[in-house]
Amino acid sequence: MPVAIGRGRLISSRLYSIALLAHEQGNSMKQHRLAAAVALVSLVLAGCDSQTSVELKTPAQKASYGIGLNMGKSLAQEGMDDLDSKAVAQGIEDAVGKKEQKLKDDELVEAFAALQKRAEERMAKMSEESAAAGKKFLEDNAKKDGVVTTASGLQYKITKKADGPQPKPTDVVTVHYTGKLTNGTTFDSSVDRGSPIDLPVSGVIPGWVEGLQLMHVGEKVELYIPSDLAYGAQSPSPAIPANSVLVFDLELLGIKDPAKAEAPDAPAAKK
């Protein structure tokens, strides 16, 4: 699964200082990431304008473009699809040319705060919609033939029955899986990678912990995991919206000696 990316040393402009000030006043980690993203995009755009064709030949040029592309996508996901590239370029030009800045620091802090508020409102709405859609999905899914709902709210359906041993919480198991959203979009798959994984039963998300212990070696099941048994509001990846119900096609291939198991790549336990 994706890992968090920390702030790098590339961000050192005055724009980042203003962004950091906005973060410190708001004491918000999301605001910090938003400000840092704006600053990094600004740095990437340094020396470029809308009339200049950028060469993408050397590894450094290609990597620079990749940084800008990735950060642009990140900003779009945060709801900043109206970033004014000309204003960004003007800010870079004023800073590099040591010109008087056109906006006061408190105006910039106010602007960052407004963008952060907009992003938070957008994410809150998406989270609310995702939670409502997940609840309806589980209600409808529970009525389908073969679907079993446990006391925790976990749902599962056996698609291939077997009579092998069942794992304990202390076991390490070998599995194949495909993780999907309720709309069928795949966000992770050991099957697509062509390699099963080993993982500790007690070291994954709660829905997996429970589901694995219900399975017999050789079985295949579909797990329908409520958001509170998955990642809840703390999504580990942009590919998984907050409060998402997750659907896994899961095959239990075997139970291993924990001492011989490799580090897992499967859905990590919530912290």
Clarify whether residues 149 and 105 are in a common domain. Answer: no
Whether 268 is covered by a domain: the verdict is no
Whether 155 is covered by a domain: the verdict is yes
Whether 136 is covered by a domain: the verdict is no
Give pLDDT tens digits for 65-78. 787 677 667 766 66
Clarify whether residues 59 and 92 are in a common domain. Answer: yes
Clarify whether residues 23 and 97 are in a common domain. Answer: yes
Clarify whether residues 146 and 217 are in a common domain. Answer: yes
Boundary-marking domain end, from 124, 154, 170: 124
Of the candidates 197, 205, 225, 240, the residue annotated as catalytic is 205
Q: Which amino acid is at 121?
A: E
Clarify whether residues 59 and 146 are in a common domain. Answer: no
Tokens of 179: 């993780």
pLDDT tier at 21 (50, 70, 90 boundaries)? very low
Mean pLDDT of the chain: 78
**Domain count of the chain?**
2
The DSSP string of 158-190 is: EEE--------TT-EEEEEEEEEETTS-EEEEH
Clarify whether residues 92 and 177 are in a common domain. Answer: no
Q: Mean of the pLDDT values across residues 239-263?
A: 82
Clarify whether residues 25 and 58 are in a common domain. Answer: yes
16 is catalytic: no
Of the candidates 137, 156, 177, 224, the residue annotated as catalytic is 177
Tokens of 59: 């590894």
Q: How far apart are CA 254 and CA 256, in angstroms?
A: 6
Boundary-marking domain end, from 97, 124, 151: 124
pLDDT tier at 80 (50, 70, 90 boundaries)? low
156 is catalytic: no
Give pLDDT tens digits for 107-151. 989 988 888 888 788 878 888 888 999 999 999 999 999 999 999
Q: How many CB atoms lie within 10 A of CB 98?
A: 6
Whether 195 is covered by a domain: the verdict is yes
User: Counting Cβ atoms within 10 Å, is residue 180 exposed (0-12), middle (13-18) or buried (19+)?
Assistant: middle
Query: Closest Cα to residue 219, out of 157, 169, 170, 268?
Result: 157
Instruction: Give pLDDT, residue 143.
Output: 96
255 is catalytic: no
187 is catalytic: yes
Instruction: Give pLDDT, residue 200.
Output: 93
112 is catalytic: no
pTM: 0.62
Of the candidates 188, 198, 225, 255, the residue annotated as catalytic is 188
Whether 70 is covered by a domain: the verdict is yes
Task: Give me the CATH number covering residue 204.
Answer: 3.10.50.40
Whether 133 is covered by a domain: the verdict is no
Instruction: Give pLDDT, residue 270.
Output: 60
Q: Mean of the pLDDT values across residues 227-245?
A: 89
Whether 29 is covered by a domain: the verdict is yes
Whether 134 is covered by a domain: the verdict is no
Instruction: Give pLDDT, residue 97.
Output: 85
Q: How far apart are CA 5 and CA 3, in angstroms?
A: 6
Q: Mean of the pLDDT values across residues 89-114?
A: 85
Which domain range does residue 80 map to?
A: 14-124
Of the candidates 16, 137, 156, 187, the residue annotated as catalytic is 187
